[in-house]
Amino acid sequence: MARYLKPKFLIRDALDEKIIGVYGQAFELRSGEEFLSANWIEYFELPKLDALKNIVSGMKASKLSVSSKGALAVANIANIKSIGKDRKSKIRVEYRPTQGNKSHSGIFNTLNEDTEMLDLLSREAFSELVQIEKLVMLKPVGF
């Protein structure tokens, strides 16, 4: 899975350049949200970087704004579910494609009030971070 994270959710180094982490609050549901939006990387059947580029294109095609200062956070579904199990919540992932965003998926049953769960998601699940500005320079493949 990959989830787009806005610049405000990213922890940066002392010079505010390199991204070194993610705030747990990046995985809070907003008011009215039923699930956390994410994208299914394997949908594209491409090398990871190419798939991530396509995810960004898909988001833009769905009129979702993407900042070059943001990032895609990558997680293994099994890790996400394992965190849910540890925190006594049945986290599940569902494929939820939309018109322009074919790889779109939803992460269900995260708990806003469980600060430690959100922290675990940010540290142990979505620990691989790819900056958008590095992705957007390259053309999407097979999209």
Partner 1 sequence: MIQVLFKNPKKDIESLRSPSHVSLESFTRQFDIPVSSYSRVISEITRNCSGTPLSTFSSDEKSIREKLFDAKAMAKIKIAEVSMHLDSKWREKIFRQLDLMHDDADWENDDVPIQILSIVTFLRSLGVIDYKKYPSLGMSNSGYLLAAWFYNENRLTLEFLPIDKVRWVLSIKSEDSYESAAGETQLPVLMSRLSPYDPGQWFLHGNS
* Span from 20-28, 34-42, 98-106, 134-142 in contact with partner 1 (CB under 8 A): 20-28
Is 62 near partner 1 (CB under 8 A)? Answer: no
CA distances from 128 to 1, 51, 61, 75, 131 (A): 11, 15, 24, 7, 10
What does the DSSP assignment read for 50-106? Answer: HHHHHHHHHHHHTT----TT-EEEE--HHHHHHHHHHTT---EEEE---SS-TTEEE
Tell me: does residue 12 bind partner 1 (CB under 8 A).
yes
Residue 49: what residue type? L
Distance CA 41, CA 54 (A): 9
Q: Cβ 102 to partner 1, closest distance in Å?
A: 20
Q: Binding of partner 1 at residue 133 (CB under 8 A)?
A: no
Whichever of 45 and 113 has its CB closer to partner 1, that residue is 113
* Residue in 67, 85, 128, 138 binding partner 1, rule: CB under 8 A: 67
Query: Contact positions toward partner 1, by CB under 8 A?
Result: 6-14, 16, 20-21, 23-25, 28, 30-31, 65-70, 115-116, 118-120, 123-124
